[in-house]
Chains A and B, each alone.
Chain A
Amino acid sequence: MAKVKNKRNSGLADKVHNKKKSEINKKKLNPFEVHINREKLKVLGKKSKHDRGLPGVSRAKAIQKRKETLGTEMKLMHKTNAFIDRRIGEKSAQLSAEERMVARFAAERVKQHNKKNIYNLADDEVLTHRGQTLEQIEKFDDPRSDDEEDEDGRKFGGLGDEFVADGHFGGGMLSKTDAKDGAKSHKDLIEQLIAESKKRKAEKQKEKEQTLDLTEKLDSEWKDLQPVVFKKMKTEESAIEKLLSQAEKKNMDYDKMMRELKFEKRGTPSDGLKSDEKQAKEERARLEQLEKERELRMMGEEEQIAVKSKQTKVKHRSAEDLDDNFELDDEHDFMLAYDKDGKPLVPEKVLKDFSVPNAKPKFDDGISDTSDEEDEGDDDSDDEENQDQSQSQNDDESDDASDKSEDSNKKTKSKDKNKVKLVSNKNDDSSNDDESSDDDSEDIKPEAKNQKPEVKSKAKEKPKENGHKPEEKKTKKTEEDTILFQNSKDDDSSDDDDDGSEEESEEDEDEDGEGNEVDLNNLNDLKESDGESDVEQEPEDVEKIGSFFDVDDGEGDKLKELLTGKTPAQQASALQNLIKSYDPSLSEKNKDKLTKLFAYMLQYINDLFSDLKEESDVIKAFLIFDRLAPYFYDLSQTNKVSSKKYIAELLKEKYGQYKKRQKRVPDMDTLIFFKLISLLYPTSDFRHPITTPSMIFMTEILTTCRFNDAYSISRGLFVTTLLLEYTILSKRLVPSAINFLRGILYLSANVTVLNPIQVVPPFRLHKDSKILNLEEDCSKMDVEGKMAARDFTLTEINNDFKIRCLSTSMGILKEFFDYFNDIEAQVYLFEPHLKLVGRIDLDLYPAKVANRANQIIKYMRAGLEVKTFTPLTREKKRPKALRLYEPDIQEVFTGSKSAKLSREQAESQRLKTKYKKEMKGALREIRRDKSYIGSVKIRQKIHSDNIRKEKVKQIYKDASIQQGELNKLKRIK
């Protein structure tokens, strides 16, 4: 019975069992059966599978296998018997699996009770479940069952010791306890016992439940707590990052979502808030990057190429490469990918070549220079965009507010202008903002105020309803309406924003007379007020700003009106407000407007610096310029291309003017722009659209102009200083500037006709010489070393001027000298200067200046003396080596050729070899099968022959016996 059952459910349990058995039975090798294959070639590291074999065993195995398969098959060949399935209920579909089992089980039971098995008592059946005995299955791993174990380790049914002692072993004569208690009936005892045990059980149960509850509670609480714990860091994220994460959530892919559904979310990871240090570090990195770029630009093209060629890696070179620098276009194709904004993630240069449909037009000034400004404006560099973004973020709120207020403004305006005061509180707010942002005190210059009304009367701008102006301007303007009641008219007349008036206003516009009236006292006031930086937004200004670009033309005049007659600080803040109110983020057209504003500001500076007659004018002009310069930078940043165009135009015009009178040094209205350029543009570049021409312009001034009076010399020195500043980073050699200094020294040297010294044009021998020569003893004079603004207006050369010229030029000379410490030509450049300085009578100069000059001379002499000359050599060309090729080293050597192949190829290759192998194997198997079959057949044949022979023999035997008997009978007869 058991056998049958085993056969039927030969399951896992048995297999496991058998395996163990087989392992134990693993036979030891019979050394006579082993055949060792001799190795012909020994290959290191090769694992040989076939070094030894068991031919007899394996053959026997194979034959056995065949016997079981082929042999049986052969036996059954040509037999018509069929296999009949006699399992109970196998064929009837009505019976379910359960019923089938039940029916079979019943059949088994019946079988058990047949005659044979009646006496087989011990052979109990082993219950199995899926082939495994229940013993094996049962693991009893209920986690809670641990608790059930009795801690006390009590025996005897968990009765107390006392009770046991009394109940089981108590009584007897010796114990006094019984006597004390009196007689306790047995029944009582039993009852007590039962009660006690019940109580204990109940307690136990209760306790268990409690712990269970607590565990569950803890679990649930933990689950609640989990997200909180992990999210704690996330709560500190900035708003931007929240937005970003939201955006990311949106385009979550399927996998992520699926995983999220699958697993419980355990809080999201987050970037830490950037600390100040980190921000500073990033800023530093950015600056460093820019600086590096600048240095790269500083080098000439050739040098750049040289650097690049060093950097570029050697590409693959074919064996047939003839070293003719013929380049193959085998650059790798790039994968076109897009970031989340839809911009392609490709290098710029690639973008240029391939026209990617979605790509933003690349900023390329070379092409767009001639096209519209608006186009170019869009493509400005990144930082600007960043700026815009940040600004727009800031302005978002204010925009909303402005919409509302605008609506209200419209209403009030249209209905009744007197009611405008309703919004005055808003106005207060905004003005407060202004003040706080400007960090200003509440001081107004009286003169400025006085001049205002005149200007105002001239101004006939009408405030205009313009959809995209910020709130504050609006409200202020409306207040203006109440004040300037008459001026406010219908808004329709000034609706059109025409851009046609772009041409610069005329050069020769006269400065307003007011400037000249300001005497030195006022100037001091100006300076003081600078420190206080007092500006309160004047209402008139606001109005002007508001309507700055409304009227068709005359912005230049308006700007002038806006700015003239104010302290520099006031001008600066007025300008700031103007720029702010036309921020590009507020309207599309504002960018154009700001561009125009840039041109007008250039014009303003030009006017400011032309016709400077008084020292105070010069100082005032420079003070204003100092304040306005940053705004030039801001404006040029908003639209680089057009501002570059304006400046280039300006330079061209100035150059044309200068060309008309080449011998005359251009006035300050030209020179100041060189300063401005150095503020806006990098002066160190090898080639730059603005700085290079301006440098050429300056050098030309220094080479062609005549320097023979205070006017030209002061300006010449200014230009030289500018050139020094231009070249401070690049350390370029500007011969004209160095030569100019030589000229200045020549002019101040004591030269005689008899003892001439070589001069270089534009300075001429024996002409204008000694105009800077100090003839009187000024050693007691107290002179500061710097040149001053008054030198620009000087008409007569005085001793003071002479001294300052010398000291300044010596200072500049030293700096130029230091530029060329590494160059041999330093000697040629500066030796003439030293010779000339030797002719200057330094004793006449103030002690301070003389000392300084002597120091510089000593320094330069020392520098020149230790100068060494190394002959120019070229970088040693290395002899051209024979071309060698890198050995093709593979990181992982597999020894197989397929390692190099691609995956698909390798796969197909593998399959092919497998097929081949299998084919071979199959053929061999078939061959063996055939031989097996043959051997079986021949054996059968022999067997059957033998049987036949036997039978024949038998027949012969019988026949002979028969014959013998017959013969016997015959003989007997």
Chain B
Amino acid sequence: MAAVQPNPNFAKMISAQLRNKATHNNLADILEMFEAETDNYTPLLLTVEVIFTKLLRRGELLEGIVPLKPADNSPEAQYKRWLRECFEAAQTRILECIRRGRMSSRLQALVTACKLMQAEGKHPLEGSSGFYFPSVRLKNIFNVLLDPEISMSAPIARFQEFTEYKDVQQYGLKVLSTIAYRKSPTSIYMQNYLELLDKLLICEIPTETKIKGKERDGEEKEEKLLCGTEDKAPFPYNPGVCRRYANRCWGFACQWPLCQDSRTHRRALLLLVERLMPLLNRPHLATDMLCDSLDAGGPISMLALQGVLELVRRHNIDYPDMYDRLYAMFEPEMFATRYKRRLMHLADIFLSSTHLPESLVAAFAKRLSRLALVASPEDAVGLLQLVANLLLRHPALKRMICYEDTPAIMSNDPYVMEETCARSSRALGSSLWEVWALRRHPAPALAAAAATVLQPATDRAAPLALTAPDLAANFDAELKKRFKTIEMNFVRPQGMTTPSGERVMQYWELMA
């Protein structure tokens, strides 16, 4: 099971322990060694894991409890009892290890705990024929993970590999809903909680309509079970139950002051928007929170926007000045946030309606192109794609790239960038001079994108899907491009000055 035998010494102990009951003191020794170690528990953990999985598989921990019968005092039974004590002790030690030591050993501790939980689930301590899930163990693990002091994001991220199991998901949500109730938790606790919940929901819980479809397809075979074995009854996975528990979990979280700390706020919003929205029974209850968040500005409002969009699209919520808020989000600061792609994507969806007033869309086009002037090439390409889509969807905007009437020379741009109301920014009278300027960008991809925006689509071409170009892709792509000839300067430089136009030496006194 444990492929890596960390230490020959431990290997010996393991084999001895497993072979001979007489040398069982080894186990005790190992458990004691937890005390001695401070940093790296990995070998110990692996040893314990191997020993106990083997023992569980052999059923040496199995205790046949016969009702109305006095406890057996035979050495066998005593040994068993002792082993179980050891098992419990080992469990506590392992859980402690999650909190201590170096990161790798912490992660290993979590994995070991889960592995033992799996082993126990497969070979329960009490003999049972049905499906058995050691929820207590899971609860213990969760209790550790929801530490109020230490951020557990790394172990929780590691825990993700177990939440993919359906039984873990269901029981996990159940367990989490039982332990969640807590008043005024610390922000770290909240973060841990939200992260854990996020991870538990990483596997999509199907809604009713989906279930029906799925049942017919008979896709349930694919479901992964952590503690499932062939000879036992199958695990009764119930999405409805899962959703209920998830709702309950979120219900607890809602009572906390989530919006105090910006990190917690962001996390909560991310969880809500990404995972929970489709699961919630009454999603409109989240409206207040989302609206407040939308006003917060910055990345938080960007996240909230997605939730609001969901509400508007699916739940008939009417939100005032929706587009003005979206409009206000397009500020140069957005490039620094990591949600800029999401924002662009959302804006594309928002503006995909063909029933929007032209002046509004024009204002957006103008603002986006204005932003593209200061954006990095990658962002600028995205923005230009967005603008191109706007122009495609709203043929009336064509006048911004090709003015049909006799062009009158204006003394200034009619568009008012500072105007907060998109519709009154008079963008329709303006032209996309910014895009025109971007045709002279040094990055060929961007220049080409700008040129395509200005190229009037003769027929209604399909709007482009917003691609997410990698930052490094541009550079690599340019390097990989093949050229027929390699052009060189035709004037031999005499020293460091470029013959075509030296500027470095003009502004730098480098050689004195």
Q: Mark A residues whose CB is within 8 Å of B.
A: 287, 290, 294, 297, 300-302, 363-366, 369, 381, 383, 527, 618-619, 622-623, 625-627, 629-630, 633-634, 636-637, 640-641, 644, 648, 651-652, 655, 659, 675, 678-690, 692-693, 695-697, 699-700, 703-704, 717-718, 721-722, 724-736, 739, 758-762, 764-765, 784, 786-789, 808, 811-812, 815, 820, 823-829, 867-874
Contact = CB atoms under 8 A, between A and B. Distances in A.
Interface in B458-493: 471-472, 474-476, 478-479, 481-493
Given A735-B373, A761-B335, A868-B410, A300 B451 contact: yes
Contacts of B432: 872
Contacts of B508: 718, 721, 786-789
Interface residues of B, number: 79
Contacts of A696: 377, 442-443, 474-475, 478
Given A619-B511, A867-B411, 14 more contacts: A300-B447, A622-B511, A626-B495, A633-B493, A692-B481, A725-B502, A731-B440, A732-B440, A820-B437, A825-B373, A827-B413, A871-B431, A873-B402, A873-B403
B370 A828 contact: yes
Contacts of A688: 483, 487
Top 3 A-B pairs, shortest CB-CB distance: A825-B437, A871-B403, A824-B433
A625 B495 CA distance: 8
Contacts of A820: 437
Contact of A689 (B431, B436, B486, B489): B486
A758 B472 CA distance: 28
A794 to B, nearest CB: 14
B285 interface: no
B507 A300 contact: no
B289 to A, nearest CB: 27
Query: Secondary structure at chain A's binding surface: helix, strand, loop or mixed?
Result: helix
B471 to A, nearest CB: 7
Query: Secondary structure at chain B's binding surface: helix, strand, loop or mixed?
Result: loop
A619 B509 CA distance: 9
B401 interface: yes
Contact of B510 (A287, A622, A765, A808): A622
A365 B484 contact: yes
B439 interface: yes
A238 to B, nearest CB: 25
B483 A365 contact: yes
B466 to A, nearest CB: 20
A648 B476 CA distance: 10
A695 B442 contact: yes
A722 B504 contact: yes
A629 B496 contact: yes
Nearest to A819: B440
A290 B407 CA distance: 38
Interface in B413-461: 413, 430-434, 436-444, 447-448, 451, 454, 456
A637 B478 contact: no
B486 A640 contact: yes
A623 B501 contact: no
Contact of B511 (A626, A697, A787): A626
Contacts of A788: 508-510, 512
Given A693-B479, A869-B413, A728 B490 contact: no
B332 interface: yes
B489 A364 contact: no
Contacts of A636: 488
Interface string B300-339: 0000000000000000000000000000000111011000
B482 A735 contact: no
A365 B490 contact: no
A690 B336 CA distance: 29
A363 B489 contact: no
Given A623-B511, A721-B507, A823-B436, A732 B403 contact: no
B376 interface: yes
B89 interface: no
Given A735-B380, A869-B413, A726 B332 contact: no
A679 B493 CA distance: 7
Pick from B370, B432, B490 the residue with the most CB of A within 10 Å: B490
27 contacts: A287-B490, A300-B444, A301-B448, A618-B510, A630-B494, A634-B492, A652-B476, A681-B487, A696-B443, A697-B475, A699-B377, A703-B376, A721-B503, A735-B373, A789-B509, A823-B436, A824-B436, A828-B370, A828-B373, A869-B410, A869-B431, A870-B410, A871-B403, A871-B407, A871-B408, A872-B431, A872-B432
A306 to B, nearest CB: 11
A874 B511 CA distance: 50
B409 A868 contact: yes
B437 A823 contact: yes
Contacts of A695: 442-443
Interface in B90-123: none
Pick from A619, A622, A820 the residue with the most CB of B within 10 Å: A622
A873 B478 contact: no
Contacts of B436: 823-825, 872
A301 B500 CA distance: 23
Contacts of A815: 503
Contact of A692 (B376, B431, B443, B502): B443
Contacts of B454: 872
Contacts of A717: 507
Contacts of A678: 498
Contact of B501 (A687, A728, A758, A872): A728
A735 B441 contact: yes
B116 to A, nearest CB: 39
Contacts of A760: 332, 335, 374
A327 to B, nearest CB: 20
Contacts of A700: 376, 471, 475
A673 to B, nearest CB: 13
Contact of A300 (B400, B439, B474): B439
Nearest to B411: A868
A699 B441 CA distance: 11
Nearest to A869: B410
Contact of B496 (A640, A679, A689, A726): A679
A726 B372 CA distance: 21
A82 B50 CA distance: 145
Given A692-B442, A693-B475, A696-B478, A637 B488 contact: yes
Given A823-B437, A824-B433, A829-B373, A724 B503 contact: yes
Given A633-B493, A696-B377, A869 B409 contact: yes
B138 interface: no
Contacts of A640: 486, 488
Given A696-B443, A760-B374, A828-B434, A689 B481 contact: yes
A366 B483 CA distance: 5
Given A693-B478, A765-B333, A629 B501 contact: no
Pick from B403, B504, B508 the residue with the most CB of A within 10 Å: B508
A686 B440 contact: no
B412 interface: yes
B83 interface: no
A301 B481 CA distance: 15
B498 A725 contact: yes
Contact of A727 (B399, B442, B483): B442
A622 to B, nearest CB: 4
A872 B433 contact: yes
Contacts of B481: 687, 689, 692
Pick from B332, B375, B433 the residue with the most CB of A within 10 Å: B433
Nearest to A784: B509
Given A297-B487, A679-B496, A680-B488, A739 B374 contact: yes
A529 to B, nearest CB: 13
